[in-house]
Each structure stands twice: as structure tokens, then as C-alpha cells.
């Protein structure tokens, strides 16, 4: 069971990653630049490597999609899918029309054999081609205006561009997914044609949140007994840059220790080592040229979880039902029970060493590690 679960998990994971990638690439010019050389090839290569790579994470090492289990059925499905989507003749005529196909095919050569390319061509749907053209057109526009991509722009790229892939007020989850916007995410050279006709979920990350909330702020949170997470906002960081020789988080512990952790203020957050069961006062500030420390913001005092045992002290007992909110509970003079045996104490000590267990939680669609 473990193997089957992880196998599927891994393949699902690969799917999600890929799906998330697409809109991200469309977001920033920077990303586009990064990818431009690889144009259409990259996602294809990625997909291929994802398909190969995914099972490596799995226990048994060979993930096979459920559909692959029935090659006969899959073949039938493939025929059907192609038939539904488009007659072969139409595909051929469409291919003639689309100029960028040549470029796309060149790119495909890098990852697939000629035979595979032909196969891919045959199974490509209209919307896939549209998407490929769009991707090429926008990439060309942004960073590498080649004659070929310029030629594409006025013709077909305009049509899909009119449909923004992400609408801020539209929830994700597939309800209103524009299937053709996603079909193209299927990779060229994909040898499982029955998937070609099936759309992918629609991804939407919702509205953008403000970059900052104004003013200077710092907060520190305990991640576990050994780490603190701090985040901050500093107003007018650029102006302060002239005065600040270096920036630091000043940490004062409940036991009187004080030390600085040098930071890059532009990072806006930091993980720092800590000790268990300790209180921390964290401040952010900068050192001026003379070495004076100027505090910009202070975090609320926080405490890390213990993470280790407390030496046994004399036990106190109470009647749990005598407690009243807001009042100290009256102690009971002595315990009505016997004390545990040495064997029990030894078992407890063993268990403490094995802690924490970390048996996880489940959620729909995913079961946490255990």
C-alpha cells in the first residue's frame, strides 16, 4: 500500500508543479527571459523528466499511470479522442496554415526523435496549436523578436490573447475552466495521446495582497524549539541605506543573553537558531558608521516550545472538577493513587527519547507523512 500511495502521490505532485508553472512563466518578464532560449522545448523536456523523475521519489521506482495498465483500452481511447477532437484531414490543413509550427518542430527535435514528432503532430489539437503559437508570440514579443515570431503575432496570437488566462474574481477548481487554455500545457512528443484530448485544471491564485502595510514592524514566531522565524517591514529602507553600515536582528533572551544576527533588510524575513523553552525579545535595527545600534522596530516577546524534559519535582494534586474559571484551583493534600513502578518509569524514559512521533494528519487529496 505504501508503495502504491507514494507512487501516485509523486505523479500527482509532478502534475501540480507543471500546472503551476505555466501561469508563473506568463507573469514576469524575468521568467520569460530565463526560459526564452528553450522556448517550447523546456516544458516538454520538463514533462518528460517529470514523468521519469517522479517515480524515483517513490519506493518501488516505476510509476505507471493507471491507464497504461490497459494498453488495448488506451489505444481505443486514443482513437476515439483524436476522432472527437478533429478529423485528420482538418489537422493537416490547419498545420499548413500555421507558420510557427516549423519553429516548434525544430525545438521538438531537441527532445524527441523525428518519428515521435510526427506522432505528436498527428495528435495535436487545434487548441494546442493555438497555445503554442501564443506562447511563441508572447515570448518573441517580450525578449527575442525574431522574424518568425513577428509574423505570427497579427494572425493567430491575437485571438487567445483576448481571453485572459486568469480572472481575479473567478475561483479556481475547474468550474469555469477554459479547457482550451490548458490543453496546450500537454507536452509535445507526449506518447499518451488519450490524454491529449483531456483538459487540465484551471489555476488561479486570487487577488494580489499589498506588499506592505505601512510603518515599521517586526514579528517573531517560534517554528520549533530550535528555530525562530522573524518577518519585518521597514519604511523608507532606501533612505536609511545611506546611514546604515549593516543591519541586524538584536536578540535578548529571558536568561539575559544578548546577541546580534546580521541580516539583509531587503530579505524581509529570516530563520534564526534558538533554544527550547526560552523567551525572546527580538529587535531590528542598523549599525551606523560609528558602531551605534539604532532600533527600528521591536517584536512582541515570544517563547519557544520546550523540546526537552523538565527534571522531576514534587508532584502537586488537584481535584479537576473543583476548578472554576478565573480562580486558582485548590490543591489536594495527597494523591489517592500508588506511584508507578520503576519499569514504567524506564518505559517513559525510552519513549521520551523517541519523541516527537510526528504521526501526521490527513487532508483530502493528501495524507501527511507518517
Partner 1 sequence: MNAEKGCLAIVLHAHLPFVRHPEHDEFLEEDWLFEGITETYLPLLARQEELVREGVRYRLTMSLTPPLCEMLADPLLQGRYLRYLDKRIDLMKHEVEAKKNSPFEDAARMYRDILGRSRELFHDRWGDNILNGFRELQGTGSLEIMTCAATHGFLPLMLTPEAVRAQIEIGCRNYEKHFGRRPRGFWLPECAYAPGLDEQLARAGIKFLIVDTHGILLADPEPVYGVHAPIVCPSGIAAFGRDYESSKQVWSSEEGYPGEAVYREFYRDLGYDADYAYIKPYLHADGVRRNLGIKYHRVTGKVELHEKHPYVPSWAREKASLHADDFVANRRRQAEWLAGSLGRTPVVLSPYDAELYGHWWFEGPDFLADVFRKLHYNQREVTPVTPAEYIERFRVNQVATPAGSSWGDKGYYEVWLNGTNDWIYRHLHAAEERMVALATKHRDERDDVKLRALKQMARELVLAQSSDWAFIMTVGGARPYATRRTNLHLDRFRVIADQIESGAPDEGYLSGVEGLDTIFQEIDHRLYAREA
In the region spanning residues 304 to 343, those forming contacts with partner 1, defined by CB under 8 A, are 304-313, 315-329, 331-332, 335-341, 343
CB of 178 to partner 1, least distance (A): 9
Residues 195-214 that bind partner 1 (CB under 8 A): 197-210, 213
Q: Which is nearer to partner 1, 71 or 256 (CB)?
A: 71
Give burial (CB, 10 Å; 0-12/13-18/19+) of 7.
buried
Single residue of 222, 237, 252, 298 touching partner 1 by CB under 8 A? 222
Q: Which is nearer to partner 1, 295 or 355 (CB)?
A: 355
Tell me the C-alpha distance between 262 and 248, whole Å. 4
Tell me the C-alpha distance between 295 and 283, whole Å. 7
CB of 59 to partner 1, least distance (A): 7
164 makes contact with partner 1 (CB under 8 A): no
369 makes contact with partner 1 (CB under 8 A): yes
Query: 130: closest CA among 106, 108, 167, 157?
Result: 157
Q: Which is nearer to partner 1, 203 or 249 (CB)?
A: 203
62 makes contact with partner 1 (CB under 8 A): yes
Query: 188: closest CA among 43, 68, 30, 304?
Result: 43
Single residue of 231, 250, 253, 260 touching partner 1 by CB under 8 A? 231
350 makes contact with partner 1 (CB under 8 A): no
163 makes contact with partner 1 (CB under 8 A): no
Residues 130-159 that bind partner 1 (CB under 8 A): none
Cα–Cα distances in angstroms (integers) from residue 283 to residues 88, 333, 348, in the given order: 68, 46, 40
Tell me the C-alpha distance between 107 and 97, whole Å. 19
Residue 60 three-state SS: coil
255 makes contact with partner 1 (CB under 8 A): no
Tell me the C-alpha distance between 167 and 207, whole Å. 9
Amino acid at each position: 500500500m505504501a508503495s502504491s500511495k507514494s507512487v501516485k502521490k509523486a505523479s500527482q505532485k509532478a502534475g501540480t508543479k507543471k500546472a503551476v508553472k505555466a501561469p508563473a512563466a506568463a507573469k514576469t518578464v524575468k521568467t520569460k527571459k530565463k526560459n526564452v532560449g528553450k522556448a517550447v522545448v523546456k516544458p516538454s523536456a520538463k514533462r518528460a523528466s517529470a514523468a521519469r523523475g517522479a517515480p524515483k521519489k517513490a519506493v518501488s521506482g516505476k510509476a505507471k499511470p493507471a491507464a497504461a495498465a490497459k494498453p488495448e483500452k488506451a489505444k481505443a481511447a486514443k482513437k476515439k479522442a483524436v476522432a472527437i477532437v478533429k478529423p485528420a484531414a482538418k489537422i493537416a490543413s490547419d498545420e499548413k496554415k500555421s507558420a510557427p509550427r516549423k519553429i516548434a518542430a525544430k525545438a521538438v527535435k531537441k527532445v524527441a526523435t523525428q518519428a515521435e514528432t510526427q506522432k505528436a503532430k498527428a495528435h495535436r489539437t487545434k487548441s494546442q496549436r493555438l497555445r503554442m503559437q501564443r506562447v511563441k508570440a508572447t515570448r518573441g514579443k517580450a525578449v527575442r523578436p525574431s522574424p518568425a515570431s513577428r509574423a505570427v503575432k497579427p494572425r493567430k496570437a491575437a485571438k487567445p490573447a483576448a481571453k485572459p488566462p486568469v480572472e481575479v474574481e473567478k475561483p479556481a477548481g475547474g468550474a469555469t475552466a477554459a479547457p482550451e487554455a490548458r490543453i496546450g500545457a500537454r507536452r509535445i512528443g507526449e506518447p499518451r495521446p488519450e490524454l491529449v484530448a483531456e483538459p487540465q485544471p484551471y489555476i488561479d491564485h486570487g487577488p494580489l495582497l499589498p506588499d506592505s502595510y505601512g510603518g515599521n514592524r517586526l514579528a517573531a514566531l517560534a517554528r520549533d524549539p530550535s528555530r525562530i522565524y522573524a518577518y519585518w517591514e521597514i519604511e523608507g529602507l532606501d533612505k536609511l541605506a545611506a546611514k546604515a553600515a549593516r543591519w541586524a536582528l538584536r536578540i535578548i533572551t529571558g536568561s539575559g543573553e544578548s546577541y546580534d544576527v546580521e541580516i539583509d533588510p531587503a530579505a524581509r524575513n529570516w530563520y534564526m537558531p534558538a533554544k527550547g523553552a526560552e523567551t525572546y525579545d527580538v529587535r531590528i535595527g542598523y549599525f551606523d558608521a560609528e558602531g551605534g545600534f539604532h532600533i527600528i522596530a521591536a517584536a512582541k516577546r515570544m517563547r519557544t516550545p520546550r523540546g526537552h524534559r523538565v527534571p522531576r519535582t514534587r508532584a502537586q494534586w488537584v481535584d479537576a472538577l473543583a476548578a472554576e474559571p478565573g480562580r486558582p484551583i485548590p490543591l489536594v493534600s495527597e494523591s489517592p493513587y500508588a506511584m508507578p513502578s520503576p519499569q514504567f518509569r524506564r518505559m517513559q524514559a525510552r519513549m521520551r527519547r523517541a519523541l516527537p512521533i510526528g504521526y501526521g494528519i490527513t487532508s483530502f487529496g493528501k495524507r501527511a507523512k507518517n
